[in-house]
Amino acid sequence: MKVLIVDNGTSYLPQLENLLIGSLSRAIKYSEIDSIDADDFDAVVLSGGHGFPVSGNEERLQKEISLVIDSKKPIFGICFGFEVVARAFGAKLELMQNKERGILDIQVVVPDELFLNIQNFQVFESHRWVVKEPAEDLMVLARSKDGVEAIKHKTRPIYGVQFHPEMFVEKTCGSEVFHNFLNVIK
């Protein structure tokens, strides 16, 4: 499988690439999206990032937002990438009072292939923004005490998770969720 990673300035890129061992992956910066044809890949992963928020920077992120809206390829957004997916379809992001960082409990609210038969699990979080309710084209798959944790487009193979599946893989179920995505799109 050939996977394009859109690097949104994540400091977890090596860990993300480790999740893709066995797949051919290529990482590019979000600003370089127009230099590559996403159709040359089987899937696109939008990484996390911490340089600036999605909210208020939609113009700066227009290439990535357009990729989400226009691509027919499966997409998996992680944290910042989740927020890009949510904004691309019109969801509002809210700034939290305090940054969420650490292991958090997640509850599946809509069963999906992404979670197989898991109902509750733990993941690693590191973010300041949340989606309280997604846009009309997206369905909520999982929630935490903070809000929406996983979304799926209603008709296209687009997923987003607020958490970091690439971190603390020995203590959380994040890597299983990510690998379930790869298995779903095969």
Could you give the residue numbers annotated as active site? 79, 164, 166
Which DSSP letter does residue 38 get?
G
| 130 vs 133: CA distance, rounded Å | 9
- Identify any residues that bridge with 101 across adjacent strands, giving them in sequence order: 126
Give the CA count within 13 Å in the CB-facing half-sphere of 67.
31
| 15 vs 105: CA distance, rounded Å | 21
| Apex 93 CA angle, 87 and 95, nearest 5 | 150
| 159 vs 155: CA distance, rounded Å | 11
- Identify any residues that bridge with 76 across adjacent strands, giving them in sequence order: 45, 159
